[in-house]
Amino acid sequence: MKILHLANVYLSGANNWPKQVSNLFQLEELSLFDCNLLPSTSSFSSITTNMTSNSLAAIDLSLNKLTSLIFPWLLSYNTSLAMLDLSNNRLSGPIPEAFGNFSSLRDLNLRDNLLEGEIPRSLGEICSLKRLVLHRNNLTGFQDFVSSSTGLRCGLKSIQYLDLVENQITGPFPIFPIFFSANVIS
C-alpha cells in the first residue's frame, strides 16, 4: 500500500493503529486528517521504528490535537517529505530551525496553531519550497527569514504562495525582489 487516507476516523481510542501503519513499508502518503489524534509521542515513534523514512512523501495530520511533541518524529523524514500539513492543531513555541532540513519540502502548512517567535531563517533555505502557510499563529517577525548576509537564498526565490495573515508581525514588509516567483503573498 502506498497511500493511506483515514480522514475522520476516531483513532485516539485505537491502540494498534501505529503498529499497523508501521508495517506499510512502501507508504508514500499518510493522511490522518481529523482523527482526534492526541499528543502522544510514543504512538508516532513506533511508526518511525519500523517504516523506511525514504518512502513517505506526504503527511497530513491536520485538524487533530497534536502539540509540538510531534516535531522530533517528523524530523526523521527530512529527506523524503514533500508535503506536510499540521494545520489546526495545538502546536506551540517557535517553528523548529530543523524544519530547514526538509530538503524536498514543497508545501508546508502550519495554519491555525499557537506558534510564536520569528519565522526561522532555515525555511528560506529550502530550495524546493513553493507554498508556505503560517496563517493565524502568534508569529512576531520574519527578519531572519528574509535577511541574508550572502544574498538571496534559493528558498525565498522559489516560494509561490506565502500566507502570514493574522499573526503578530509588525514593521515593513520587504516586497523587493526577495520573492521572485511569488504569485500570492498575504
Q: What is the CATH number of the domain that holds 178?
A: 3.80.10.10
Q: Which helix (H) or strand (E) holds 42?
A: helix 41-50
What is the pLDDT confidence band of residue 158, given thresholds at 50, 70 and 90? confident
Name the domain count of the chain. Answer: 2
pLDDT tens digits, one per residue of 163-174: 999 999 887 766
pLDDT tens digits, one per residue of 55-95: 889 999 999 999 998 888 888 777 889 999 999 999 999 99
Residue type, 120: P
Say if residue 40 is in the same domain as residue 124.
Answer: no
Over pLDDT 70: what percentage of the chain? Answer: 80
Say if residue 107 is in the same domain as residue 123.
Answer: yes
Structural contact between residues 139 and 167, judged by C-beta atoms closer than 8 angstroms: yes
Q: Which of 84, 107, 130 is the last residue of a domain?
A: 84
Does this model's pTM top 0.95? My answer is: no
Q: Which of 51, 68, 84 is the last residue of a domain?
A: 84
Say if residue 75 is in the same domain as residue 119.
Answer: no
Say if residue 135 is in the same domain as residue 161.
Answer: yes
Q: Which residue has the higher pLDDT, 142 or 50?
A: 142
Say if residue 128 is in the same domain as residue 40.
Answer: no
Distance CA 85, CA 59 (A): 6
Distance CA 178, CA 93 (A): 26
User: Would you state the pLDDT for residue 149?
Assistant: 44
Domain of 136, in residue numbers: 91-186
